[in-house]
Amino acid sequence: MVNIRLPDGAVRQFDGPVTGLDVAAAISKSLAKAALAIRVDGVLKDIYLPIERDATVEIVTRDTQAGLDLLRHDAAHVLAEAVKELFPETQVTIGPTIENGFYYDFARPEPFSPDDLVRIEARMREIVKRDEPIRREVWDRDEAVAFFKAAGEHYKAEIIAGIPAGEEVGLYRQGAFIDLCRGPHLPSTGRLGTAFKLMSVAGAYWRGNSDNEMLQRIYGTAWANDKDLEAYLLRLEEAEKRDHRRLGREMDLFHLQEEGPGSVFWHPKGWTLFQTMIGYMRRKQIAAGYLEVNTPEVLDRSLWVRSGHVEKFGENMYLTQTPDERVFALKPMNCPGHVQIFRQGIRSYRDLPLYLAEFGKVHRYEPSGALHGIMRVRAFTQDDAHIFCTEEQITEECVKASRLIQQIYHDFGFDDVVVKFSDRPERRVGSDEIWDHAEAALKAALAALQVEWTLNPGEGAFYGPKLEFVLRDAIGRDWQCGTVQVDLNLPERLGATYVASDGSRRHPVMIHRALFGSLERFCGILIEHFAGHFPLWLAPLQVVVATITDDADDYAREVQDAARRLGLRVESDLRNEKISYKVREHSVTKVPVLLVVGKREAETRTVAIRRLGGKAQEVLGLDEALAALAAEARSPLDRVA
RNA sequence: GCUCACAUAGCUCAGCAGGUAGAGCACUUCCUUGGUAAGGAAGAGGUCAUCGGUUCGAAUCCGAUUGUGAGCACCA
């Protein structure tokens, strides 16, 4: 007798061992059809495996997240089976589930072409049609290794050889294809359904290490039903529409060109956005006690040797040689420059904490494959600052800097921010005591902030641990923006000292912090986040006055002047075009407010307001309308909370 | 940097069994004065990314370089 407890609390009795399928069938026919796997006392299991003892059982169906993951995992196996059938010389490696889909890494001397992808997907659909049973087998580890070696599957053999001896090795067999897998799996390939699609091929390193050989990774997406698949593909299209590279062109914000890979040409509108962000940040920082400075972009290489950058960061640095054969480096970071300012004169502990801030443009020779629009560039502007303080002040200063970051993200419309704490890397300077101290201080800051955070083990800077503030963009990519780093090293290397209260000379602690991180990247994120529909205070062009006929030209100029006097960024469109043409054009370039004026408006001194994306129009008196717009266009710093 | 793909007018793209380029939009001029997402006509605009090779002849085939895209690795 086996008692099966269901999630709703009901208990069903069976005469003997039952499978998940039996349980599902006992409940309803449709459930049996939708069932993919079972959760027995919280553990996912294959649906055809017998349940011998009393247990709580949950049927996992394709419309749950767990079911979807199973589906995608199976899609990866079906992909591998299809590839092995079509290209038997290919070696299989791993094929996990990822967000929205799956991938599988293959080793094969010949690359897969886009045409191959089409063939592979067609074969996958055949395998689904064949509805091959998928069955779990338990093997002895060494036998499994020998089996895969004999089959020429050396990667698989290597993976299995890494499993501790004595641990159970589960293999899954479908048709002629057999693969190592923890499972569980669907009972047969037919359960996968038709809602999947191969998306792309790309290279990927074996075990994620760039020293290893490169494999070929095939990406796919899979869903519970065709409708979800369609919706996903539509979402991709929508995401493409808000791609900052496309909007940057359409809104005339910036461009990049071949001669300056990874360097932005900011157009007037883009630069206005950029300056609006700097203006905001400048005020924010001054209010927080920062002192703005500016340091050279080109400095003698010897300084970078002393700072340790040549050794640690040299591969990423631009060097220039002058006619007198001196070698200079373009600064990849602002910190050494700020230390030079700190070193001028004699500092006292009474001067600390000292906040030096700079909108510093840095140059880093990034790997060509890393470049991406204005999100990942080789020349960028940091809203960088260095807080020189005592060891006792570390926690408090980190808390203050982190609070600043949170406030700023909030003002820009981001409330979901992931915080990562990166602790000591293997290659580092400084004693363990110093690291213990620095990490403890940062952790104390996290506790004081009361934020959720995740650990990024071993990812700290070589001079100290760091907090990273990560935003997620519209296409689901994570971008590291703000960062707070504790540095117990550079001040010493570059000879920065202060006189402590007991008269001794000490090295200050340096906290590196950037709030936006890279202004260029943050602009890109804003563009995608808002899909170009900026809030009024950020919009580079806030208002266009558009005429209906040239009867209204004089009045339109008057409206434009009045708006400009109120500080609004405004243009007028007096062209000999129909109003619908003008509406379309300014909608495409994402102008937030259109003030339409014709003969009626000129006579009554009103404006017809049309908002971007809206259909409705509102006719208001000129002064009233402009006052409201001016109020809306105020910086968040000028708004009453 | 690595793998694969791509590079034709400002933009989106067609042309590719090798015979020196084409569309739509944008731009200029003219007509049109039209009330909320493209009014009409005409015109101008390209050393087909760069360099080299094959060929009587290359946008088209081959190679290299540069750049771009999707990933990987790296990262603000």
Residue A408's Cα: distance from chain center in Å? 18
Is the Cβ atom of A36 within 7 Å of strand B at any atom?
no
Q: Which of residues 348-407 of A touch strand B (CB under 7 A)?
A: 364, 366-373, 376-378, 380, 382
The verdict on whether A386 is a catalytic residue reads yes
- Give the residue among A391, A394, A510, A386 at the shortest CA–CA distance from A446: A394
Which pLDDT belongs to residue A276? Answer: 96
pLDDT of residue A48: 87
* Residue A132, CB, strand B, below 7 Å: no
Phi, psi of A117 (to 5 degrees): -60, -40
Is the separation of the CB atoms in A358 and A295 below 8 Å? yes
CB A61 within 8 A of CB A32: no
Q: Which residues of chain A have pLDDT under 70?
A: 474-476, 640-641
Residue A101 has a pLDDT of: 94
Q: Which residue is nearest to nucleotide B67 (CA to C1')?
A: A258
Residue A573 Cβ under 7 A from any strand B atom:
no
Q: Rounded to whole angstroms, how far apart are CA atoms A458 and A566?
A: 52
A587 CA: nearest nucleotide by C1': B37
The whole-number Å distance from A570's CA to B46's C1' is 36
Is residue A347 helix, strand or coil? strand
Select from A126, A254, A253 the least CA-distant residue to A194.
A126
Ranges assigned E (strand) in A437-528: 453-456, 466-472, 478-487, 498-499, 505-506, 509-518
Residue A177: count of CB within 10 angstroms of its CB: 20
Strand B atom within 7 Å of A590 CB: no
CB-strand contact A483/B, under 7 Å: yes
Q: Provide the terminal-to-terminal Cα distance of chain A, rounded to the nearest Å.
A: 66
User: Can you tell me which residue has its alpha carbon closest to the C1' of nucleotide B49?
Assistant: A258
pLDDT of the residue at A640: 66
Please pick, among A335, A389, A481, A523, the residue that the annotation labels catalytic: A335
Q: Where are the beta strands (DSSP E) in A234-274?
A: 254-255, 265-266
- Chain B, protein-covered positions (CB within 7 A): 1-5, 11, 31-39, 66-76
What pTM value is reported for the model? Answer: 0.92
- What are the structural domains of chain A? 2-61 (3.10.20.30), 66-232 (3.30.980.10), 254-529 (3.30.930.10), 543-638 (3.40.50.800)
Counting Cα atoms < 13 Å in the Cβ hemisphere of A601 gives: 30
Structure tokens at A118: 């089409």
Burial (Cβ within 10 Å: 0-12, 13-18, ≥19) of residue A53:
exposed
What span, in angstroms and rounded, lies between the C-alpha atoms of A214 and A211?
9
